Amino acid sequence: MIKLVLSDIDNTLVPLGERFASHRSINAIHDVIAAGVSFGPATGRDYFELLRFFHMDEACFMTGIISNGKRVRVDGKYVYQRLIPHEALVRIDEVVHLMPGVFLVCYPADSNMLNPAYGVGVTSEELAIYEARTSFNGSTVDEVPNVDVIAATLACSGSAERARSVIQAVEEAVPEVELVSPFANWIDILPRGTSKATSLDVLLEHLGIGIDEVVVFGDGGNDVAILGKVHYSVAVANAVDVAKEAANFQVGAAADEGVAEALEEIARATRAGEMPAFLTKEDQ
């Protein structure tokens, strides 16, 4: 039986660009929890961003994997945290600062509901494009701020091929980090060896749950590792090809509330002592 459900947020539970989870999604999450199944995010978003997404309803993310695995939360408390080293960010900025249309965005570990972030070596006009797209409040700075940073991203204009070349250049110059792209023109920076997949082990150990009792929903490049790690891995219909290939099952698109519908089925099936119908036939 399913005991834990984890879902990516952007373009999985919530269509990209939407600022809030739908009331249907939130109600479905509470239905799953009421049926005795734990629910949590597996997302690149952090605590205050999740508060906004869930209309200040912290019950929706008391447990989960946040900040792309750099934080693990169990019953409202962090049981794991890994910051991005300042010196690594400085070297990344040195690599990309001469690349037109590429710049570093840093999110401080000490944050608030405004979701502040620093755009390094970029104009306010360039930063505003990404602020609107991913819902942060940016300030431009000339150099990497000397503060604890929980998350960092490269904004990268241009094609997917260009993004791959930027990723290769940065990983060669700064081997202690690895980069993944959750969606076009946005490249997340992670300490090497940290991901949603590696943090799943931490979460399962604390919850006493087996990996065959977990369902994971995702859509992007930063979901591939965790989708490939669990059997009950589910891609939404709008997922990128590599995420669909990594997943064993599929549900409707984020825009059609595919995850909300799946959560409703998980709650129903759990109460009936059954496996959810969408998990009984593999896509691959």
Instruction: Return the pLDDT at 282.
Output: 61
Is the four-CA dihedral 164, 167, 173, 175 of positive or negative sign?
negative
Q: How far apart are CA 31 and CA 106, in angstroms?
A: 36
For the chain, residues with pLDDT lower than 50 are: 284
Which CATH number do you get for residue 107? 3.30.1240.10
| Residue 175 shares a structural domain with residue 213 | no
Instruction: Return the pLDDT at 117.
Output: 96
Q: How far apart are CA 35 and CA 267, in angstroms?
A: 6
Predicted TM-score (pTM) of this structure: 0.90
Beta bridge partners of residue 7, listed in sequence order: 41, 217
Q: How far apart are CA 200 and CA 107, in angstroms?
A: 23
Q: Which of 263, 270, 201, 209 has its CA nearest to residue 236?
A: 263
Residues in Cβ contact with 241 at an 8 Å cutoff, skipping those fewer than 6 apart: none
Q: How far apart are CA 277 and CA 28, in angstroms?
A: 16
- Altogether, the residues listed in the chain come to a count of 284
Residues in Cβ contact with 191 at an 8 Å cutoff, skipping those fewer than 6 apart: 70, 82, 84, 85, 88, 176, 177
What is the SS3 assignment for 252? Answer: coil
Instruction: Return the pLDDT at 283.
Output: 52
| Residue 131 shares a structural domain with residue 262 | no
Q: pLDDT tens, 160-193?
A: 999 999 999 999 999 999 999 988 999 999 999 9
CB atoms within 10 A of CB 44: 29
| Residue 247 shares a structural domain with residue 207 | yes
| Contact predicate 223/237, CB 8 Å | no
Name the residue type at position 137.
Answer: N
The single-letter DSSP state of residue 202 is H
Which CATH number do you get for residue 59? 3.40.50.1000
Q: How far apart are CA 132 and CA 173, in angstroms?
A: 30
Q: How far apart are CA 89 and CA 150, in angstroms?
A: 11
| Residue 186 shares a structural domain with residue 215 | no
CB atoms within 10 A of CB 1: 12
Proportion of the chain above pLDDT 70, given as a percent: 99
Q: Which residue is associated with the tokens 């459900």?
A: 5
| Residue 174 shares a structural domain with residue 256 | no
Q: How far apart are CA 68 and CA 84, in angstroms?
A: 12
What total number of domains does the chain contain? 2
Name the residue type at position 119.
Answer: G
| Residue 40 shares a structural domain with residue 137 | no
Q: How far apart are CA 70 and CA 84, in angstroms?
A: 9
- The separation between CA 37 and the C-alpha centre of its own chain, rounded to angstroms, equals 21
Domain assignment of residue 284, yes or no: no
* Residue range(s) defining the domain that contains residue 165: 86-191
Instruction: Return the pLDDT at 281.
Output: 75
| Residue 71 shares a structural domain with residue 102 | no
